[in-house]
Amino acid sequence: MGYHVRIDQDLCMSSGKCVADAPGVFRFDGDELAETVPDPEVLDDERLLAIARNCPGRAIALLDADGNEVAY
């Protein structure tokens, strides 16, 4: 389906986990806070869920096609 990714930079702890796991979706900005790349690669939902669950700051929200936040 392809969840949309939203990052709350106030919660990002700059661990780099998401950037290491999926550099086609996540990158660091100039302040070493995660952001999405401009034209992100489409990852399958299970992989995105795993990345979001592994974020130590719980900074990654996943939105479904209707814009609703996915619980994980």
Q: Tell me which residues touch ligand SF4 (CB under 6 A).
A: 7, 12-19, 34, 55-57, 59-60
Cα dihedral angle (60, 65, 40, 27), rounded to 10 degrees?
-10
CA dist., res. 59 & res. 12, Å (int): 5
Q: How far is the CB of 70 from ligand SF4 (least distance, A)?
A: 16
Q: How far is the CB of 35 from ligand SF4 (least distance, A)?
A: 9
Tell me whether residue 48 is exposed, middle or buried, using C-beta atoms within 10 angstroms of its C-beta: 0 to 12, 13 to 18, 19 or more: buried
Q: Which is nearer to ligand SF4, 17 or 66 (CB)?
A: 17
Q: Which is nearer to ligand SF4, 66 or 71 (CB)?
A: 71
